[in-house]
Amino acid sequence: MSQNCLKVLSMRIATWNINSVRLRINHVLRFIKEQNIDVMCLQETKTPDEFFPSEEFQKVGMKYQYYRGENSYNGVAILSRLKLKNPKHIDWCRKNDTRHISVKLNDIIEIHNFYVPAGGDEPNLLTNQKFEHKISFLKEMSDFFLKNTKKNKILVGDLNIAPFENDVWSHKQLINVVSHTSIETETLLDIVQIGEWVDVMREFVPHNEKLYSWWSYRNRNWEISNRGRRLDHFWVSKNLFPRVKSGVICKETRSWERPSDHVPIIVDIEI
């Protein structure tokens, strides 16, 4: 390596299911400013593109913006201080919904931002179409990353699955609850294997420790009862992992006024 011509850039990339970007625009702006975020990936923006609060993000330095939204549901966005190129999306399950966007960062790294279907209540492929959609979506992701084996990728988003025992408050009580059933967790871990991904947060927090990114709105005492799940994820290609300097789940936003039920993940990476 020739040190003299290598310019190492430390980048701070975050992902957050914001559950309406218009309602919580001030939360996202505050988070970007306080945490010095360079690349912000959002899910559940719930906003058609013509109403996306683009100018407000411009004002905090997010010069490059790609977003795909629709009325009421879904919606993803990638905002950045650094140049983004080549925005793309895939029409997963031919639903024509807004659950995915990818961009190229710095001509090197491809970032994929996903909002995987939640899957409804019953974990039954035959009787619950939402669950069938979720599993089909995951199978298509698996096929895509089997064919797309390039290095230098980042995958973030609300994957709506808590894959490990300590990614939920009670493995025993949630084993038949959508988000933690074995068909979901096994399919997700297959994608990690096939894509040669590294689950960044689990590299920084050992498997014997509980780790959550979501607490239901249906529990007023969410912090005391702490019945959380790790539904949000930050993966990098194996070759990139040595460049990852930190990974943090930012729990404090869950205590902000009228919060999202999800909290952001922040990762520092040298590129």
Partner DNA sequence: ATGGTGGAAGGTCCA
Tell me how far, at minimum, the Cβ of 75 lies from DNA, in Å: 10
- 218 scored as a contact of DNA (CB under 7 A): yes
Bridge pairing between strands 84-88 and 197-199: unpaired
Per-residue x/- mask for DNA, residues 42 to 71, rule CB under 7 A?
----x------------------------x
CB of 147 or CB of 218, closer to DNA = 218
Tell me how far, at minimum, the Cβ of 67 lies from DNA, in Å: 15
How far apart CA 232 and CA 158 sit, in angstroms, is: 4
Dmax over Cα atoms in the chain, in whole Å?
61
Selected binder of DNA within 9, 23, 82, 108 (CB under 7 A): 23
CB 157 within 8 A of CB 15: yes
CB of 54 or CB of 106, closer to DNA = 54
Specify the DSSP class assigned to residue 248. E
Tell me how far, at minimum, the Cβ of 55 lies from DNA, in Å: 18
- 22 scored as a contact of DNA (CB under 7 A): yes
Spatial CA neighbour of 155 closest among 83, 76, 60? 76
Bridge pairing between strands 265-270 and 244-249: antiparallel
How far apart CA 268 and CA 270 sit, in angstroms, is: 7
How far apart CA 40 and CA 57 sit, in angstroms, is: 10
Selected binder of DNA within 33, 63, 130, 210 (CB under 7 A): 130
- 27 scored as a contact of DNA (CB under 7 A): no
Spatial CA neighbour of 234 closest among 203, 262, 200? 200
Residues within window 76-115 making contact with DNA, judged by CB under 7 A: none
Side chain identity at residue 95, one-letter code: K
Selected binder of DNA within 160, 185, 187, 237 (CB under 7 A): 160
- 73 scored as a contact of DNA (CB under 7 A): yes
Which residues of this chain interact with DNA, rule CB under 7 A?
Answer: 19-20, 22-23, 46, 71-73, 117-120, 130, 160, 217-218, 220, 258
